[in-house]
Structure 1
Amino acid sequence: MKLLLTSGGISNKSIHDALVDMLDKPIAESSALCISTASYALRNGARLAWSFFNGKDSAPMTELGWKSMGVLELTALPSIGRDRWVPLLEETDVLLVNGGDPLFLNYWMQQSGLAELLPSLKLVYVGMSAGSMIMAPNIGDWFVNWTPPTGGDETLGLVDFAMFPHLEHEMLPYNTMANAEKWAAGMKGPAYAVCDDTAIKVINGAVEVISEGKWKLLKS
């Protein structure tokens, strides 16, 4: 599995070009499955999910001209047979995973069984915000809103670094570099602060920052 971990989706040419390179073929020849489970834990979550699916979200993901698209709802997967959805994952080229509440998304990644499958999949995983954050070992107390039954802030741990997304976003006045540094001080491993014009590409453990904006490795 290849990872393209974004803060604000495929927001510029550099990130777009990285995605095409990871796919090894044009987007118009690639199939996508979309996950917006994380959005439902937020206020107006259903509307946020719809804007993501219909391509009217401000962060480009679904509207890039995919050959085919489908919706994978994690909360539904435990109640249906794996033969109904695992083959879809094995055939698709990319997973587009929306933002929202990271711990809610992490919980349903685990409960659905998708988390255990991810490392073996040959697709490109494209996360946005929470969809990227859950790849870390943990997200930090700063981002804990919805609390899982077991508590804590642990996430999937498929990479060894954590992300502070939406750095200095005009709609998120608390996402300052100063607050990102406070967050990073409490993290155990490497920690990045990234703006919406930045993504982190991970292939076979090799990490590369792709940016047309602002980012900083706060803790190595």
Structure 2
Amino acid sequence: MKLLLTSMGVTNPSIADALERLLGKPIAESSALIIPTAAYPFAEGPWMAREAISGTAPGPLSELGWRSLGVLELTALPTIREESWVPAVRDADALLVWGGDVLYLSHWMRESGLADLLPSLAETVYVGVSAGSIAVTAYNCDAEFDLQFVPDGSEMALEAERTLGLVDFALVPHLVGDGADGASLAVVQRWAAGIPAPTYAIDDATAIVVVDGAVEVVSEGTWELLQP
């Protein structure tokens, strides 16, 4: 699988060029499935999911001009036959994994069977946005935040730190300048100090490309690599 891990979608020409390079053809000739599942734990989740699907959310993704675009809802997959959804995933040129709650998304990727399928999708491009990017990395930088949305008594809380680990680094999106609210470099450094893996911090104009284990940073903005 080829990965394009973004903070806020395809926000500039450099990231768009990287996407088409991974696809091996124009976006207009490519098919995609969008996964809105990570949005649902939030009170505004239903609206966030609709905006992601319709292309009206912040961060360009579904509105990029795909030849065809379908919706893959992970929470539905355990209740339907695999032959009803696996071929659609295998046929898609790209999986567009929207942001939200990393813990919830990682949980349903495993429960749905998609996590087991992903390593076999050699030519598929996985495009992550925020939580959709963090979910395939080695650690969940949002674990503490995500825990407040876990239902009381749910065993999901035991999975807070657990992501899919398709790559051997951690990722913190939405990097902001020092003094701004959010993931400033100082905040990222404090978190990364306890992580035994390299940590990329990227702003909304940056993406990480991973192909066959090789990592490339594509950026028109700011990013940092913090070593363990």
Shift of 1:32: 0.4
| Root mean square deviation, CA, Å | 1.6
The answer to whether the Cα contact below 8 Å between 1:142 and 1:183 also exists between their aligned partners in 2 is: no
2:3 corresponds to which residue? Answer: 3
Deviates more, 1:132-141 or 1:53-62: 132-141
2:206 counterpart of 1:198: yes
The answer to whether the Cα contact below 8 Å between 2:39 and 2:46 also exists between their aligned partners in 1 is: yes
Instruction: After superposition, give the CA deviation of every residue in 1:70-102 in whole Å (9 maximum; x if it has no partner).
Output: 000000000000000000011110000000000
Instruction: After superposition, give the CA deviation of every residue in 1:39-86 in whole Å (9 maximum; x if it has no partner).
Output: 001220110111111111120000000000100000000000000000
Percent of pairs with identical residues: 52
Shift of 1:143: 4.6
2:48 counterpart of 1:48: yes
The change in CA–CA distance for 1:151 and 1:119 in structure 2 (over 3 A counts) is closer
* Partner Cα distance (2:189, 2:144) in 1: 11
* Partner Cα distance (2:42, 2:185) in 1: 24
TM-score, normalised to structure 2's length?
Answer: 0.92
* Partner Cα distance (2:144, 2:194) in 1: 9
The amino acid that maps onto 1:135 is V
2:140 corresponds to which residue? Answer: 139
Shift of 1:126: 0.2
The answer to whether the Cα contact below 8 Å between 1:144 and 1:153 also exists between their aligned partners in 2 is: no
2:221 corresponds to which residue? Answer: 213
The change in CA–CA distance for 1:153 and 1:96 in structure 2 (over 3 A counts) is same
The answer to whether the Cα contact below 8 Å between 1:33 and 1:72 also exists between their aligned partners in 2 is: yes
Count of matched residue positions in the alignment of Structure 1 and Structure 2: 219
TM-score, normalised to structure 1's length?
Answer: 0.95
2:153 corresponds to which residue? Answer: none
The change in CA–CA distance for 1:63 and 1:7 in structure 2 (over 3 A counts) is same
1:115 corresponds to which residue? Answer: 115
Give unmatched runs, 5+ long, in structure 2: 151-155
1:93 corresponds to which residue? Answer: 93
1:179 corresponds to which residue? Answer: 187
Shift of 1:174: 2.5
**Structure 1 residue ranges (4+ consecutive) displaced by more than 2 angstroms after TM superposition:** 140-147, 149-152
Give unmatched runs, 5+ long, in structure 1: none
* Partner Cα distance (1:109, 1:214) in 2: 30
Shift of 1:149: 4.5
